[in-house]
Structure 1
Amino acid sequence: MTVRRTPPLRFSTFTRRGLKAMIHLLASGYLGLLFYAGIKGQLGPDPVETLLNETGIWAIHILIITLFLSPLAKWLPSPEPIKFRRMLGIYVFVYALAHFSTYILFELQLDMALVVGELTKRPYIMVGMVALLLLLALTLTSIQALRRKMGKNWQRLHNLIYLILPLAVLHFTWSQKTFWQEPVFYWIVTAIILSMRLKEKRIFQRVRVPPRTEGSRTR
């Protein structure tokens, strides 16, 4: 009996462009509305704190969604989720940059002496800076021309996304001054994503390295 395989799910060009337009509208629209509400004084008694919380937490949310796209593509199976990964990855950087800019511009008011003092006194800010710089490197090298030019080094660099997630969650945890309550859920999700990545890497290594046969042994 012949087993019929279900063809991979594929979107039409119209559907794919429509979904991307919706993501652009939601991601950029929410960020714009946040800052507009801040300017209008509609973010409560501490608008800077609200901006910091919202931009930071949504940077982590979008990063988690981005990292789940590859497992989702294998589970469906479909190449379609991968086609949204670059766009969402750029929005992770945009939200992280908005988070950092809010802190520097509104919280520290561009006082560079205060910036240096905060970096030395608060390790979680340094951790956040490292995550932001890594995101910057990934965003700048997401251009197709650079990807082709870098070859295998491109994938090695972009594997750092799996380091950025725990750094971002660590930054968030230290800023909350507790591991429990909200941060613990992000650590659980981080553990799931990293364990999936480790399992995927082991499977890939087993596929690449053929098993030794009797004839291949050294006499």
Structure 2
Amino acid sequence: MLSPVNRWLLHPAAKPALFLVACLPFAWLVWAAFADQLGANPAEALVRSLGDWNIRFLVVVLLVTPLRTIAGWPALARLRRMLGLFVFFYATMHLLAYAWFDQGFIWREVVADTIKRPFILVGMLAWSMLLLLALTSFNKAIRWLGARRWQWLHRLVYVIAGLAVLHFFWMRSGKNDFGEVAVYACIFAALLGWRAWRSWTRRAGTKSAAPHP
């Protein structure tokens, strides 16, 4: 018998509801920008807030598998693709806001700044990987790549998480403010550690179950 949470997750309204909730931060930021509610430096606040929401959605995506396993919510799997695409959406908005407000959409300046500043280079690398995952997030791509290769490719999300933390760390280093960076680093380390432990126990279980010659 399905739990109430799983029943709700399987409801046809679950995906539209998630879409609306995931759009709320962006809608609020757009409203705040037009209403002059982003403080003394609205451009910087907008760029950084979009980056913050990008990393928050990345945490949510990486929580899907542990919650499916530990909490017994397998129906969460049907929402993971949309959550992953919102990670890409907020990363893209973060990039476009930087390119617009910091560089005026002069792409040669964006390239020069990327080469000059390592934290932007790391961010660009993470965005490029997210683009690859977004382009291969559909059923046709899974069939074309094959399930095993697709799974290996989408494990890049852990590399992206590491790059996101490094990007955040270098960005905050100028102000020597690493509190939030440490929180995200611990969350990602715990999630990666859980996945490594689960993979190890599965292999150990498989070996112990194998018949002896």
Between the two proteins, what is the percent identity of the paired residues?
33
Calculate the TM-score normalised by the size of structure 2. 0.89
Q: How many angstroms apart in 1 are the aligned matches of 2:210 and 2:16?
A: 51
1:118 corresponds to 2:141: no
Counterpart pick for 2:170 among 169, 174, 181:
174
Calculate the TM-score normalised by the size of structure 1. 0.87
Q: 1:18, CA displacement in angstroms?
A: 2.5
Q: How many angstroms apart in 2 are the aligned matches of 1:134 and 1:11?
A: 31
When residues 42 and 203 of structure 1 are mapped into structure 2, their CA distance, relative to the original with a 3 A threshold, is same
1:155 corresponds to 2:151: yes
- Alignment of structure 1 residues 121-132 onto 2, 5 Å: 121-132=116-127
Q: 1:121, CA displacement in angstroms?
A: 1.7
Counterpart pick for 1:18 among 13, 32, 39:
13
CA offsets per residue over residues 99-123 of structure 1, 9 Å max, x none?
Answer: 0000001111122332122112210
- Alignment of structure 1 residues 27-42 onto 2, 5 Å: 27-42=22-37
Q: How many angstroms apart in 1 are the aligned matches of 2:103 and 2:62?
A: 32
Aligned amino acid, residue 145 of structure 2: M
When residues 45 and 179 of structure 1 are mapped into structure 2, their CA distance, relative to the original with a 3 A threshold, is closer
Count of aligned residue pairs for this structure pair: 209
Q: 1:181, CA displacement in angstroms?
A: 1.9
Q: How many angstroms apart in 2 are the aligned matches of 1:165 and 1:87?
A: 18
Which one is further off, 56-65 or 180-189?
180-189
1:165 corresponds to 2:165: no
Match of 2:196 in 1: 198
When residues 205 and 49 of structure 1 are mapped into structure 2, their CA distance, relative to the original with a 3 A threshold, is same
Aligned amino acid, residue 126 of structure 2: A
Q: How many angstroms apart in 2 are the aligned matches of 1:204 and 1:150?
A: 25
Which one is further off, 88-97 or 115-124?
115-124
Greater share of helix: 2
- Alignment of structure 1 residues 27-176 onto 2, 5 Å: 27-151=22-146, 152-176=148-172
Structure 1 runs (4+) deviating above 6 angstroms are: none
Q: Is the 8 A contact 1:90 1:139 kept in 2?
A: yes
When residues 15 and 210 of structure 1 are mapped into structure 2, their CA distance, relative to the original with a 3 A threshold, is closer
Q: Alignment partner of 1:82: what SS?
A: helix
Q: Is the 8 A contact 2:8 2:14 kept in 1?
A: no
Unaligned residue ranges in structure 1 (runs of 5+): 1-6
